């Protein structure tokens, strides 16, 4: 197989009509030199307790972008101390005050959308257009939960026997630990931070070591928007277990929220059990995308492109198994190959780039390992399947057909631009194939039969389902999965419930004395 170089796939940086001009090196340096690089603890930026730092690199070149403080276990405990000290006062802060901080943060992030987008592209690799989309998505959690803050309610009722009164109130869970992934550096932070602020919880955030810069900039923005000291603390580190482990076993911590792989989530759940922590787990996925014979094929291909190549396939919501009815599989495959072949590969800052690098070499190696394993098991390579020569961690957009059930890619999450296509004959066969996984985050169905869509909405073992669409994420909707894809929900009306406890007060009959 011919292995193309990056240059042969990337369009020159000259902007076409209607496109934004390419970002200059001066733009990048101006942003990077203005960033905070310390730990954010108790409202102050500080160095790590041992003075340690680590490099944050550009996955499109491998070059160092900036060095940031590398937190120690002592720094993690200092962050929890700050959060614990601020908890009581923050929980008593008027809901409207908390709401206004969130609203101000929404306005500030929106105003600085270009900065956040460029920063995400530099540290994670996604194209600028996608990064701007993430800014919009991530900021919307701030607006949504600013509107929910003042709607936290309880109830008051007469007991059924009439002899007492029942009062139910809601209160903040308490200090939280958030562990966020590298693939959506801003949105995964705001999706947790916004409802916690709304509920009156303080936080320690441990962002991914690969992409800590967006979290640091967001912490700075929140501080500028009036967030009190200690409410949000940020401790980036290359020693995740050593820093977060003591926090999870500390009795001052009351909630743990994690987004990442299922194996790591399982270990965190075991650790959290000792303190009986409230937990939210958004874990792995292996999403099926089912295309029935009556589907609008144009819409199905469009949906597959979004569901598969959004974020370069580095998303838990990515369509990892494309189940296509045998009568249309040939045409669907041909169209998908043509569309994926046309995706311009390059550095995310180039205005014509549609597919950026993978985040690091380990991720790229795992993607290639799954592709080669599928081929060894009998799958046919219809497109791609190779590294792209040159600097950075680029991988070709890839399509596999005739993928057998024995291939690892049928069961393991592939975090890359790889589309395995499997055919089916009947609806029941499609459902069985879709459910044949320990994961259950999201699924996608393309059909013009409303009754079929409703049947699948009940039969598929997923927490979310897209019908004739390749994207389901929405801040106004509950995000989360079933089976080994996690516990709890983020976003929607349900999102704030994860940060509230219920208190019941029984009150003696106020009329007893009068009688």
Provide the CATH number for the domain around residue 70: 3.40.605.10
Specify whether the CB–CB gap between 317 and 271 falls below 8 A: no
- CA gap 29, 154 in Å, rounded: 50
Verify that 244 and 302 share a domain, yes or no. no
Verify that 292 and 277 share a domain, yes or no. no
List Cα–Cα distances, 58 to 54, 238, 390, in angstroms: 13, 17, 14
Verify that 230 and 353 share a domain, yes or no. no
- CA gap 143, 175 in Å, rounded: 22
SS3 state at 46: strand
Geometric angle at alpha carbon 428, from 402 and 329, rounded to 5°: 30
Residue 23, pLDDT score: 86
Q: State the angle between helix axes of 95-111 and 113-124 in degrees (0 to 180), rounded to the nearest 10.
A: 70
Residues of the chain with pLDDT under 50: 1-18
Residue 20, pLDDT score: 58
Residue 8, pLDDT score: 29
- CA gap 228, 394 in Å, rounded: 42
Q: Residues near 67 by Cβ (< 8 Å), separated by ≥ 6?
A: 37, 53, 54, 55, 56
Geometric angle at alpha carbon 506, from 502 and 509, rounded to 5°: 150
Burial class (CB in 10 A: 0-12, 13-18, 19+), 371: buried
Backbone angles phi, psi at 203, to 5 degrees: -145, 150
- CA gap 358, 415 in Å, rounded: 9
Residue 515, pLDDT score: 62
Range of the domain at 332: 287-473
Specify whether the CB–CB gap between 495 and 487 falls below 8 A: no
Is residue 146, in this structure, part of any structural domain at all?
A: yes
SS3 assignment for 184-205? CCCHHHHHHHHHHHHHCCCEEE
Residue 7, pLDDT score: 33
Query: Strand (E) positions, 287-414?
Result: 287-291, 319-325, 380-383, 398-401
Residue 3, pLDDT score: 35
Verify that 233 and 303 share a domain, yes or no. no
Specify whether the CB–CB gap between 488 and 335 falls below 8 A: no
Phi-psi region of 174 (alpha: psi -120 to 50; beta: other; left: phi over 0): left
Other C-beta atoms closer than 10 Å to the C-beta of 450 total: 9
Is residue 483, in this structure, part of any structural domain at all?
A: no
Q: How many domains does the chain have?
A: 2
Verify that 351 and 404 share a domain, yes or no. yes
Other C-beta atoms closer than 10 Å to the C-beta of 52 total: 16
Verify that 320 and 415 share a domain, yes or no. yes
Verify that 178 and 322 share a domain, yes or no. no
Backbone angles phi, psi at 226, to 5 degrees: 100, 10
Specify whether the CB–CB gap between 402 and 432 falls below 8 A: no
- CA gap 379, 375 in Å, rounded: 5
Verify that 458 and 312 share a domain, yes or no. yes
Backbone angles phi, psi at 3, to 5 degrees: -100, 105
Is residue 484, in this structure, part of any structural domain at all?
A: no
- CA gap 194, 104 in Å, rounded: 12
Residue 9, pLDDT score: 30
SS3 state at 44: strand
Token representation of residue 352: 């014509």
Burial class (CB in 10 A: 0-12, 13-18, 19+), 312: buried
Verify that 50 and 65 share a domain, yes or no. yes
- CA gap 348, 118 in Å, rounded: 9
Residue 22, pLDDT score: 72
Residue 62, pLDDT score: 95
Verify that 364 and 385 share a domain, yes or no. yes
Verify that 161 and 246 share a domain, yes or no. yes
Residue 512, pLDDT score: 83
Verify that 80 and 93 share a domain, yes or no. yes
List Cα–Cα distances, 328 to 116, 234, 291, 422, 428, in angstroms: 42, 50, 9, 12, 17
Is residue 298, in this structure, part of any structural domain at all?
A: yes
Sheet containing strand 155-158, edge to edge, reads 155-158, 164-172, 500-508
Q: Could you list the active site residues?
A: 282
The H-or-E segment that residue 321 falls in is: strand 319-325
- CA gap 455, 325 in Å, rounded: 17
* End-to-end Cα distance, the chain: 92
């Amino acid at each position: 197989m011919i292995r193309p170089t990056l240059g042969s796939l990337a369009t020159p940086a000259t902007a076409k009509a209607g496109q934004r001009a390419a970002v200059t090196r001066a733009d990048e340096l101006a942003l990077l030199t203005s960033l905070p690089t310390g730990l954010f603890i108790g409202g102050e930026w500080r160095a790590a307790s041992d003075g340690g730092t680590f490099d944050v690199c550009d996955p499109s070149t491998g070059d160092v972008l900036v060095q940031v403080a590398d937190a120690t276990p002592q720094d993690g405990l200092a962050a929890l101390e700050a959060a614990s000290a601020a908890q009581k006062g923050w929980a008593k802060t008027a809901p409207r005050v908390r709401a206004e901080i969130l609203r101000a943060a929404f306005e500030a992030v929106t105003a600085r959308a270009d900065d956040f987008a460029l920063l995400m592209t530099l540290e994670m690799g996604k194209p600028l257009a996608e990064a701007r989309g993430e800014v919009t998505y991530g900021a919307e959690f701030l607006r949504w939960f600013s509107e929910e803050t003042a709607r936290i309610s309880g109830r008051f009722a007469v007991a059924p026997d009439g002899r007492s009164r029942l009062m139910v109130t809601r209160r903040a869970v308490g200090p939280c630990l958030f562990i966020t992934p590298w693939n959506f550096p801003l949105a995964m932070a705001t999706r947790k931070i916004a409802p916690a602020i709304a509920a009156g919880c303080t936080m320690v955030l441990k962002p991914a070591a690969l992409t800590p810069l967006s979290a640091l900039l967001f912490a700075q923005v929140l501080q500028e928007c009036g967030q009190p000291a200690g409410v949000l603390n940020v401790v980036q580190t290359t020693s995740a277990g050593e820093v977060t482990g003591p926090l999870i076993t500390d009795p001052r911590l009351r909630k743990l929220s994690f987004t990442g792989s299922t194996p790591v989530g399982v270990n965190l759940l075991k650790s959290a059990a000792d303190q009986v922590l409230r937990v939210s787990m958004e874990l792995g996925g292996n999403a099926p995308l089912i295309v029935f014979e009556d589907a609008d094929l144009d819409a199905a291909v469009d949906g597959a492109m979004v569901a598969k190549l959004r974020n370069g396939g580095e998303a838990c919501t990515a369509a990892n198994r494309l189940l296509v009815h045998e009568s249309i599989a040939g045409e669907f495959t041909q169209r998908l190959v043509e569309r994926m072949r046309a995706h311009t590969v390059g550095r995310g800052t180039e205005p014509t780039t549609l597919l950026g690098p993978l985040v690091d070499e380990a991720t790229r190696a795992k993607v290639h390992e799954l592709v080669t394993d599928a081929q060894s098991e009998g799958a046919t390579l219809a497109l791609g399947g190779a590294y792209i020569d040159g600097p950075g961690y680029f991988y070709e957009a890839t399509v596999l057909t005739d993928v057998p059930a024995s291939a690892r890619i049928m069961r393991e999450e592939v975090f890359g631009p790889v589309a395995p296509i499997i055919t089916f004959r009947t609806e029941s066969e499609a459902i069985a194939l879709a459910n044949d996984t320990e994961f259950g985050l999201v699924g996608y169905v393309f059909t013009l039969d409303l009754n079929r869509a409703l049947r699948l909405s009940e039969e598929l073992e997923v927490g979310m389902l897209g019908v004739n669409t390749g994207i389901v994420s929405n801040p106004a909707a509950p995000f989360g999965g079933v089976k080994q894809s996690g516990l709890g929900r983020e976003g929607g009306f349900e999102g704030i419930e994860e940060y509230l406890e219920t208190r019941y007060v029984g009150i003696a009959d106020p009329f007893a004395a009068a009688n």
